[in-house]
Amino acid sequence: MLGLPEIRVGIPSVIEAALLPGLVGPGRAAEILLTGESVTARQALDWGLVNRVTPLGELRAVTAELVGRILDCAPTAVRLQKELMVRWRNTDQRTAVEYGINAFAQSFATDEPREAMDAYLGKRKPRFAP
C-alpha cells in the first residue's frame, strides 16, 4: 500500500504531493490527497507510480538485480544522467535540451565512452574506473 494519509489527521500533504499531479494526473491526485486513501501496489504500477511490483520474499533479489544493472554502467554517465533527470523536472524543454548537450560533452571528458565502445567492439564487458 502507498498513501498520503495526512489529511485524515488534519494537515495537508505538501512536498511530495506537489509531484503527484504530474505523475498520475490531476483527478487521481485530487482523490488521493482529499481522501487520504491508500493506493494498492497494482494501482501504483498501473498509474506509473512504481516501475515494478514484487513479492516481499523476492524484494532483495529484484533490488540487487536492478542495482547491478545500474552499477554495470559508466559511473560518470550515471551521475550525469541523474543530474539531468533532476534538472529536467524544473525547466522548459529548450533549456532541458541544452543541459543534455552539456552533459553529453562532459561525458567525453572521461574515458568512459571510449572504454564502452572498445568493450562493445571487443565483445567484452566494459571495465569502468570507480
The full set of domain ranges for the chain reads 5-53, 69-121
CATH number of 69-121: 1.10.12
Q: What is the pLDDT of residues 19-55, one digit of tens each?
A: 899 889 999 999 999 999 999 999 999 999 999 999 9
pLDDT score recorded for residue 1: 86
- Taking each helix axis from N to C end, the angle separating 112-121 and 75-89, rounded to the nearest 10 degrees, works out to 120
Strand-pairing partners, residue 64, are: none
Residue with the three cell numbers 532483495: 60
